[in-house]
């Protein structure tokens, strides 16, 4: 048996693709190893969404040169978004690289590796019109026995001006709903309690037939009926495609968790227009208001970037202002970086790096205070926590997540991964909540009465 080591950068889609890579190769006599120095095959599943992410690939490839010179039989391959974008150029740039495979070439990996090995030929396969088949997720390749990600679509047709995704993931393509339902049924039968539906823009699932989000709602309704499944999430949503009917699913579908990740990217209308986002600040605020009116418990997280070309200090103030007004539960924030061939890479009025850094620091300080305050506001409440395992930080502590996706750490002796337990929240921190199974004296509930299946 040969050994493969896989390094993954980037988003949840890439994590799921790496599971698929492991699954495909294990059917061809490969077994996974954590140790690159023991591997016959090293694969890097890359991300190119921001410059920083892409740089990680090159620095890892640089470090692998030593292994290759010690073991000339070692095959090194690069897949994912950087591979898709660079193709042959990557082989030219990195002489110790053997294989470049595009985002749609995972199923063919065993053949590609075999060709490289037998013929001693370096190669790149990156055609985007190639079909990618999603095999049903296998327990052995999932990081958690009770949580799983299911890809429901790939690609994107939106062409936001800063974004490389449509170029490296190709046009939107949705998996047939019956495939997805069959996979989720299988996962539930294997003991999976929580499923995360993945796609670059899940709200346009099934379009054009599913215009208005109907196909996605039908899918959610179908998955809601699957026995054993307890929690359903999806990411990522696009504000322009978030229909009133989809908003109404929160609170209506009992398995759909009260959390939405809804990237806003910028607070000023002029910047949103140049980004080609297809909504205004007022439209975004309306959607959030509707979500909260419909489902007051809902947690809202978002993505934002600073320093998009032409973003003025006043535009940036509008971003801060939107954050103050909405008070996100959490926020992922980035400095804009040029991504060829995305259109904004050719826009004038680039914001200096130093200024982007300053804006990002200011924005992150603002959000840090809001996240902490929101966590502290949970103190004294009960949360339903899906137990995921023992806490990384301290012994005797268990860890799980609320339906709103907050991490909760709490002490317990007899517990099982996959149970949902009510936890009394004692303290809110910057990144998590701390709780206990039994309430402080006088609060009524007892530990042995608070476990449910």
Per-residue DSSP letters for 126-190? --TTS---PPPP-GGG-S-SSEEEEE-EE------TT--HHHHH-S-EE--HHHHHHHHHHHHHT
Q: Does 219 bind ligand 5AD (CB under 6 A)?
A: no
How far apart are alpha carbons 130 and 127 in whole angstroms? 6
Phi-psi region of 442 (alpha: psi -120 to 50; beta: other; left: phi over 0): left
How far apart are alpha carbons 178 and 226 in whole angstroms? 13
Tokens of 192: 């999976």
Query: Out of ligand 5AD, ligand SF4, none, which partner does residue 158 contact, by CB within 5 to 8 A per kind?
Result: ligand SF4
How far apart are alpha carbons 23 and 136 in whole angstroms? 10
Query: Out of ligand SF4, ligand 5AD, none, which partner does residue 420 contact, by CB within 5 to 8 A per kind?
Result: none
Give the sheet arrangement for strand 299-306, strand by strand: 259-261, 299-306, 330-335
Minimum Å gap between C-beta 163 and ligand 5AD is 5
C-beta of 186 vs 350, nearer to ligand 5AD: 350
Q: Does 15 bind ligand 5AD (CB under 6 A)?
A: no
Q: Does 199 bind ligand 5AD (CB under 6 A)?
A: no
Query: Out of ligand SF4, ligand 5AD, none, which partner does residue 302 contact, by CB within 5 to 8 A per kind?
Result: none
Task: For residue 41, give every residue at least 6 positions away whose Cβ sits within 8 Å of its Cβ, in sequence order, or none.
Answer: 2, 3, 4, 5, 25, 30, 74, 75, 76, 77, 113
Task: For residue 132, give every residue at least 6 positions away whose Cβ sits within 8 Å of its Cβ, in sequence order, or none.
Answer: 103, 104, 105, 106, 107, 154
C-beta of 307 vs 418, nearer to ligand SF4: 307
How far apart are alpha carbons 153 and 327 in whole angstroms? 30
What b/e sequence results for 216-236 when a residue is b if at least 16 CB atoms lie within 10 Å of its CB, and e otherwise?
bbebbeebeebeebbbbbbbb
Write the interaction track for ligand 5AD spanning residues 264-303; mark x where CB under 6 A is met and - where it is not: -x-------------------------------------x
Query: Out of ligand SF4, ligand 5AD, none, which partner does residue 159 contact, by CB within 5 to 8 A per kind?
Result: ligand SF4
How far apart are alpha carbons 293 and 296 in whole angstroms? 6
Q: Does 378 bind ligand 5AD (CB under 6 A)?
A: no
C-beta of 179 vs 303, nearer to ligand 5AD: 303
Q: Does 49 bind ligand 5AD (CB under 6 A)?
A: yes
How far apart are alpha carbons 126 and 412 in whole angstroms? 50
C-beta of 49 vs 220, nearer to ligand 5AD: 49
Query: Out of ligand 5AD, ligand SF4, none, which partner does residue 406 contact, by CB within 5 to 8 A per kind?
Result: none
Could you say which of 154, 193, 339, 401 contacts ligand 5AD (CB under 6 A)?
Answer: 339
Write the interaction track for ligand 5AD spanning residues 158-197; mark x where CB under 6 A is met and - where it is not: ----xx----------------------------------
Q: Does 158 bind ligand SF4 (CB under 6 A)?
A: yes
Query: Out of ligand SF4, ligand 5AD, none, which partner does residue 200 contact, by CB within 5 to 8 A per kind?
Result: ligand SF4
DSSP state of 439: P
Query: Out of ligand 5AD, ligand SF4, none, which partner does residue 156 contact, by CB within 5 to 8 A per kind?
Result: ligand SF4
Q: Does 345 bind ligand SF4 (CB under 6 A)?
A: no
- Binding to ligand SF4 (CB under 6 A) within 203-262 occurs at 238
Inter-residue contact 253 to 232 (CB < 8 Å): yes
C-beta of 31 vs 368, nearer to ligand 5AD: 368
For 175, 224, 250, the CA distances from 207, given in Å and listed in that order, are: 11, 21, 21
How far apart are alpha carbons 374 and 299 in whole angstroms? 10
Q: Which of these ranges, 27-35, 157-165, 349-357, 391-399, lies near ligand SF4 under the rule CB under 6 A?
A: 157-165
How far apart are alpha carbons 346 and 50 in whole angstroms? 16
Q: Which of these ranges, 249-257, 320-328, 331-339, 413-421, lies near ligand 5AD under the rule CB under 6 A?
A: 331-339
Minimum Å gap between C-beta 305 and ligand SF4 is 10
Which residues in this chain contact ligand SF4 in the complex, by CB under 6 A? 156, 158-160, 163, 165-166, 200-201, 238
Which residues in this chain contact ligand 5AD in the complex, by CB under 6 A? 49-50, 162-163, 263, 265, 303, 305, 334, 336-337, 339
């Amino acid at each position: 048996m040969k050994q493969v080591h896989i390094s993954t950068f980037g988003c949840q889609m890439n994590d799921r693709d790496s599971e698929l890579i492991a699954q495909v190769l294990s059917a061809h006599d490969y077994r996974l190893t954590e140790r690159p120095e023991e591997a016959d095959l090293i694969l890097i599943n890359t991300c190119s969404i921001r410059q920083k992410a892409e740089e990680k690939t090159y620095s890892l490839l640089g470090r692998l040169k030593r292994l290759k010179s010690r073991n000339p039989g070692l095959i090194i391959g690069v897949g994912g978004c950087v591979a898709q974008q660079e193709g042959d150029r990557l082989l030219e740039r990195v002489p110790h690289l053997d294989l470049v495979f595009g985002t749609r070439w995972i199923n063919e990996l065993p053949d590609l590796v075999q060709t490289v090995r037998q013929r001693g030929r370096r190669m790149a396969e990156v055609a985007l019109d190639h079909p990618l088949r999603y095999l049903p997720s296998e327990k052995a390749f999932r990081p958690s026995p009770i949580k799983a990600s299911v890809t429901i679509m790939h690609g994107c047709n939106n062409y936001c001006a800063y974004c490389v995704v449509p170029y490296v993931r190709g046009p939107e393509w949705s998996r047939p709903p019956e495939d997805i339902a069959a996979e989720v049924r299988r996962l539930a039968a294997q003991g999976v309690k929580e499923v995360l539906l993945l796609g670059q823009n899940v709200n346009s699932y099934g379009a054009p037939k599913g215009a208005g989000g109907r196909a996605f709602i039908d899918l959610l309704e179908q998955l809601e009926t699957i026995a054993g499944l307890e929690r359903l999430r999806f990411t990522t949503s696009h504000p322009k495609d978030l229909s009133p009917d989809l908003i109404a699913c929160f609170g209506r579908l009992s398995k759909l968790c009260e959390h939405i990740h809804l990237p806003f990217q910028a607070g000023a209308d002029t910047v949103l227009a140049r980004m080609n986002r297809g909504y205004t600040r007022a439209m975004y605020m309306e959607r959030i208001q509707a979500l909260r009116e419909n489902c007051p418990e809902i947690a809202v997280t978002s993505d934002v970037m600073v320093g998009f070309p032409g973003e003025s200090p006043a535009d940036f103030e509008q971003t801060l202002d939107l954050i103050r007004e909405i008070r996100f539960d959490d926020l992922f924030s980035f400095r804009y970086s040029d991504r060829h061939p995305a259109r904004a890479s050719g826009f004038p009025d680039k914001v200096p790096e130093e200024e982007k850094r300053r804006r990002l620091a200011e924005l992150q300080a603002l959000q840090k205070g809001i996240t902490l305050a929101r966590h502290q506001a949970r103190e004294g409440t009960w949360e339903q926590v899906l137990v995921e395992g023992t806490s990384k930080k301290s012994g005797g502590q268990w860890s799980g997540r609320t339906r709103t996706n907050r991490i909760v750490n709490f002490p317990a002796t007899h517990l099982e991964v996959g149970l949902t337990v009510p936890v009394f929240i004692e303290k809110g921190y910057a990144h998590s909540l701390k709780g206990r199974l039994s309430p402080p004296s006088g609060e009524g509930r007892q530990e042995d009465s608070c476990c449910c299946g």
